[in-house]
């Protein structure tokens, strides 16, 4: 029942009322920002690493913020707290090892206090004690903090693995370009080696070039950082990679219903110039899938030149949507090969699906994005 909306939950308690403890994806417990010192790794029991992508929460002022594009009978009871309730449900159902927020985490144009909005928006992730990471969208900086200030606040929050730009790079555009490594199962011969590499980039907000209108893009300095990081990691291990950022690449326009899984009903709101980052990804060779947000009514995945380009679909209730079309989230599960000896080896497959915020958290569009075979 795709139109079902959980409004009962929001009157029960605050946004951080649900607590789920998960430590299988990290070495030890998380206190404050200790997760920055911890190593993500695959689960020993199932040989999996589970990633929940949350796109476009557009959080503002909690229970004072009305929802957009919901059914008339839902509107009176729907606020930002419905977004929090959905996130709590997803965490409980999927038990991710990492939660990734891909921008427009707050709708800062409506947020009275950017820091307070972020604290509320990320509260379910923090309460769960599951490591999380975030990148910026085009709206995050439109309230009481600059774009730099927003990222500075995020990296100071509890249980986050989000980072500022690498300190060993002289000049790099944007705020929050970083990578995370996921090591093999504890006790295996890959326990000290990254066998899954995650890249996070700031795709910008709006063009700063007067002659070019529209949204921002991933700049040359960021691409150079990615190339150098990818090359360094591939010298250690030929591990697959995943990339997360907010604004889709122009190449997302290569797909329609005949060559993708999911829907494209929002158009592709990429930058009006092609910065060549897709070509950079292809040449690097390790990234198997890219995950973005930005266009809330798109939730498809399509493969181009060996790389999957995926949307998550809109998550937040204060974000624009489509009446009767459920808010949704994307899951990615990376699975390891099990050797005849019973030991877990390298990555075998990368799978994905989406869950709808309906009565049953319905899972749809399951697909294999990549397999070593």
Provide the pLDDT confidence category of residue 7 given band limits of 50, 70 and 90: very low
Phi, psi of 280 (to 5 degrees): -60, -40
Q: Give the domain ranges of the chain.
A: 9-371
Length of the chain as a residue count? 373
At residue 91, the 3 state secondary structure works out as helix
Element containing residue 58 per DSSP (H, E): none
Give the side-chain half-sphere CA count within 13 A for 195: 28
Is residue 35 scored above 90 in pLDDT?
no
Q: What is the mean pLDDT of the chain?
A: 90
Q: Which pLDDT value is given to residue 37? A: 56
Residue from 285, 246, 287 nearest 55 by CA: 246
67, two tokens: 């929802």
The correct answer on CATH 3.60.15.10 for the domain covering 9-371 is no
If you search the block for the tokens 């891909």, which residue do you land on? 102
Chain centroid to CA 80: 19
Please tell me which residue, 12 or 205, carries the higher pLDDT value. Answer: 205
- Burial-class residue 66 by CB neighbours within 10 Å (0-12, 13-18, 19+): middle
- Selection from 175, 22, 26 nearest residue 103 by Cα: 175
First to last CA, the chain: 37
Q: CA separation (Å) from 320 to 79, 90, 123, 142, 220?
A: 13, 20, 22, 17, 32
3-state SS assignment for residue 131: coil
pLDDT at 16 over 50: no
Tens-digit pLDDT profile for residues 52-81: 999 999 999 999 999 999 999 999 999 999
Using the predicted structure, report yes or no on whether residue 143 has a pLDDT greater than 70: yes
In angstroms, the CA 305 to CA 285 distance is 10
Reply yes or no on whether the pLDDT at 353 is more than 80: yes
**Residue 111: what pLDDT?**
86
168 confidence band (pLDDT: 50, 70, 90):
confident
The distance from CA 81 to its chain's CA centroid, rounded to whole angstroms, is 20
pLDDT for 261: 98
Task: Using alpha carbons, select from 238, 254, 237, 231 the residue that is nearest to residue 310.
Answer: 254
Q: Position of tokens 């975030």?
A: 134
Mean pLDDT across 355-373: 97
* Bridge pairing between strands 287-292 and 307-311: parallel
104: left (phi over 0), alpha (psi -120 to 50) or beta: left
Q: Predicted confidence band at 151 (pLDDT cuts at 50, 70, 90)?
A: very high
**Rounded distance between C-alpha atoms, residue 20 and residue 97, angstroms:** 12
Strands (E), 184-327: 194-200, 241-244, 287-292, 301-304, 307-311
Token code pair at residue 125: 């992730």
Q: What confidence category does residue 14 fall into, taking pLDDT thresholds of 50, 70 and 90?
A: very low
pLDDT at residue 144 greater than cutoff 80: yes
Query: What pLDDT does 331 receive?
Result: 98
Beta bridge partners of 360: none
Of 37 and 19, the structure prediction assigns the larger pLDDT to 37
Q: What is the pLDDT of residue 149?
A: 96
């Amino acid at each position: 029942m795709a139109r079902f909306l959980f409004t009962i939950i929001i009157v029960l308690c605050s946004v951080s009322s649900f607590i789920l403890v998960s430590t299988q994806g990290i070495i030890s417990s998380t206190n404050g920002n200790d997760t920055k010192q911890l190593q993500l790794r695959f689960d020993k029991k199932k040989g999996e690493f589970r990633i929940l992508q949350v796109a476009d929460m557009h959080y503002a002022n909690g229970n004072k913020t009305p929802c957009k594009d919901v059914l008339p009978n839902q509107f009176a009871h729907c606020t930002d707290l419905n977004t929090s309730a959905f996130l709590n449900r997803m965490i409980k159902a999927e038990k991710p090892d990492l939660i990734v927020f891909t921008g427009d985490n707050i709708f800062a144009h409506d947020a009275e206090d950017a820091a307070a909005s972020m604290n509320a928006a990320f509260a379910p992730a923090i309460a769960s004690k599951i490591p999380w990471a975030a990148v910026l969208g085009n709206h995050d900086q439109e309230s009481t903090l600059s774009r730099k200030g927003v990222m500075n606040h995020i990296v100071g929050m509890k249980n986050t693995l989000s980072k500022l730009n690498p300190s060993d790079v002289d000049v790099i555009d944007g705020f929050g370009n970083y990578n995370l490594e996921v090591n093999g199962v504890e006790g295996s011969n890959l326990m000290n080696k990254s066998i899954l590499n995650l890249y996070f980039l700031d795709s910008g907000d709006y063009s700063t070039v007067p002659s070019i209108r529209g949204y921002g893009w991933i700049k040359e300095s960021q691409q150079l950082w990615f190339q150098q990081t990818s090359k360094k990691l591939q010298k250690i291990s030929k591990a697959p990679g995943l990339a997360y950022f907010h604004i889709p690449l122009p190449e997302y326009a290569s797909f329609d219903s005949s060559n993708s899984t999911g829907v494209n009903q929002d158009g592709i709101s990429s930058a009006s110039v092609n910065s060549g980052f897709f070509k950079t990804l292809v040449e690097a060779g390790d990234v198997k899938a890219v995950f973005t947000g930005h266009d809330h009514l798109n939730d498809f995945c399509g493969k181009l030149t060996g790389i999957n380009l995926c949307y998550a679909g809109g998550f937040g209730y204060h974000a624009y949507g489509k009446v009767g079309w459920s808010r949704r989230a994307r899951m990615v599960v990376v699975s390891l090969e099990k050797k005849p000896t019973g030991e877990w080896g390298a990555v075998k497959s990368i799978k994905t699906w989406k869950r709808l915020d309906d009565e049953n958290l319905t899972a749809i569009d399951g697909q294999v994005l990549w397999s070593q075979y």
